[in-house]
């Protein structure tokens, strides 16, 4: 239904994508962001777009669909600049790597097996090339903060309003229906409220008595100073996952989800960057610049929460890890459900209420 008034709480990659898709479909959209747009997890993400190992086929299908949707929005939204640079992976023992290749190839994922010479042809700057690795040319990356801001600018160009520095204090309810949000200067009403507040979603939903199993593990990434082109792909090695940004920084974590900073983030960053320098030719000459710690919105079973709670009208929940990969599909599917009542089969397995905690 075009013209529906929708509030989107949170301007990370998920809120920005939903806002853009809703505005494009004709909804009257207000995005409300507590801080500066660009998210908490989003701006600190490794931002690998993928459908890699470790997930069941049903989730693989959602991820590959979203990879295709990245190509669509990349054509439509100025400034997204997705780089389909491919991934080079050997972060599993060879037998498990082979099992992943067999399984995902059967599902249609474009995996190529490469030997040591093949790995070096793709990434000449690996110091200790593996005997066996997998190359997935169809994987990609974005600069996550820039992508979220580009989607938000696109939403504004389509008529959406963005309120910055405006925390939602609680959700406003009337007769069992969410009718708006309470801000510092009063209540803003809407036909629908979308929660895209990342790791903070739990506390907002708590304001109307809904308690979900959502975690927020910390993930530390190191960022080098900008350098000339050293890496071409996203590298996933047993020691470190590392890629290079569009401005030339090497960005790495123990894996894509970042390193546990424990109680010594600076020490963790130094040790991690040493591994990057041990892995990549040319990194020895590039200094570590800074590290970031992001909090990953993580539903209790590891899969996304997308949809309406059963007993509360006017409310739509979106909380997930791999939100960079999933943002375009979530924006598309949430819009179809919010405006036309159509729930895409690819998100049927992810109703939020499966993670409701018993009272
Ligand atoms: C280290 C790390 C590595 C990662 N690597 C990958 C990867 O390689 N690939 C991948 O697909 N995903 C990855 N992720 C996960 C991905 O980044 C997240 O799933 C995604 O960014 C979540 O986006 P979001 O918009 O839901 O949340 P966020 O980016 O956290 O945005 C939520 C926004 O809501 C706002 N907000 C919160 N509460 C309120 C309130 N009360 N009122 C108003 N606004 C509010 C916040 O200020 C914030 O701006 C990684 C994450 C981290 C931290």
Is the same domain home to 158 and 191? yes
The whole-chain average pLDDT of the chain stands at 96
Say whether pLDDT at 3 is over 90.
Answer: no
- CA-atom Rg of the chain in angstroms: 21
Q: Separation of 94 CA from ligand 1 center, angstroms?
A: 33
Tell me 77's DSSP state. Answer: S
pLDDT given at position 2: 63
pLDDT given at position 358: 78
Mean pLDDT of 192-209: 96
Ligand 1 neighbourhood includes 168 CB (under 6 angstroms): yes
Query: Does residue 52 sit within a domain?
Result: no
Counting ligand 1 atoms within 8 A of each CB, the residue from 8, 42, 253 with the most, and so the one to mutate, is 42
Q: Which atom of ligand 1 is nearest to the CA of 323?
A: 19
Kindly state the percentage of the chain with pLDDT values over 90. 95
- Return the residue whose CA atom lies nearest to atom 52 of ligand 1: 45
The pLDDT tens digits of the residues spanning 31-68 come to 999 999 999 999 999 999 999 999 999 999 999 999 99
Is the same domain home to 277 and 344? no
- Return the residue whose CA atom lies nearest to atom 49 of ligand 1: 39
Query: Nearest Cα to 89, choosing from 240, 236, 219?
Result: 236
Q: How many CB atoms lie within 10 A of CB 208?
A: 15
Q: Separation of 50 CA from ligand 1 center, angstroms?
A: 17
Ligand 1 neighbourhood includes 11 CB (under 6 angstroms): yes
pLDDT given at position 84: 98
pLDDT given at position 211: 96
Query: Does residue 223 sit within a domain?
Result: yes
Question: Torsions phi, psi of 214, nearest 5?
Answer: -130, 125
Banded model confidence at residue 259, pLDDT cuts 50, 70, 90 = confident
Q: How many CB atoms lie within 10 A of CB 265?
A: 16
pLDDT given at position 258: 87
Mean pLDDT of 67-91: 97
Is the same domain home to 93 and 192? no
- Return the residue whose CA atom lies nearest to atom 27 of ligand 1: 198
CATH of the domain at 341: 3.50.50.60
Q: Which atom of ligand 1 is nearest to the CA of 318?
A: 26
The pLDDT tens digits of the residues spanning 289-327 come to 999 999 999 999 999 999 999 989 999 999 999 999 999
Is the same domain home to 111 and 208? no
Is the same domain home to 270 and 151? no
Q: Which atom of ligand 1 is nearest to the CA of 220?
A: 1
Mean pLDDT of 148-152: 98
Is the same domain home to 290 and 151? no
Give the pairing type, strands 298-299 and 214-215.
antiparallel
Angstrom CA distances, 122 to 38, 86, 230, 275, stand at: 32, 10, 12, 20
């Amino acid at each position: 239904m075009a013209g529906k008034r929708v509030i989107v709480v949170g301007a990370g990659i998920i809120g920005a994508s939903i806002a853009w898709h809703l505005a494009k479909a004709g909804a009257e959209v207000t995005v409300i962001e507590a801080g500066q747009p660009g998210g908490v997890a989003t701006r600190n993400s490794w931002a690998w777009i993928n459908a890699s190992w470790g997930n069941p086929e049903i989730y693989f299908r959602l991820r590959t669909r979203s990879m295709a949707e990245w190509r669509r929005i990349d054509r439509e939204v100025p400034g997204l600049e997705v780089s389909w640079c491919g991934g080079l992976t050997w972060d599993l023992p060879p037998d498990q790597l082979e099992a992943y290749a067999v399984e995902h190839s059967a599902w249609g994922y474009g995996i190529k097996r490469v030997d040591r010479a093949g790995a070096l042809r793709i990434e000449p700057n690996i110091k200790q090339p593996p005997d066996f690795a997998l190359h997935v040319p169809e994987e990609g990356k974005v600069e996550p903060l820039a992508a979220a801001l580009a989607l938000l600018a696109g939403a504004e160009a389509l008529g959406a309003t963005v309120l910055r520095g405006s925390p939602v204090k609680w959700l406003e309810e009337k007769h069992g229906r969410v009718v708006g949000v309470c801000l510092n200067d009063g209540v803003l009403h809407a036909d629908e409220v979308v929660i895209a507040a990342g790791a903070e979603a739990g506390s907002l939903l708590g304001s109307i008595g809904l308690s979900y199993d959502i975690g927020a593990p910390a993930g530390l990434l190191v960022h080098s100073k900008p350098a000339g082109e050293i890496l071409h792909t996203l590298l996933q090695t047993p020691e470190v996952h590392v890629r290079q940004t569009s401005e030339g920084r090497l960005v790495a974590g123990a894996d894509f989800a970042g390193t546990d900073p424990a109680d010594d983030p600076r020490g963790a960053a130094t040790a991690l960057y040493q591994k990057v320098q041990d892995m990549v030719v040319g990194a020895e000459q590039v200094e570590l610049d800074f590290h970031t710690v992001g909090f990953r919105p993580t539903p209790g079973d590891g899969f996304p929460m997308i949809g309406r709670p059963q007993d509360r009208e006017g409310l739509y929940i979106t909380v997930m890890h791999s939100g960079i990969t999933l943002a375009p599909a979530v924006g598309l599917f949430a819009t179809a459900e919010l405006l036309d009542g159509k729930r895409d089969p690819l998100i049927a397995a992810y109703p939020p209420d499966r993670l409701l905690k018993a009272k």
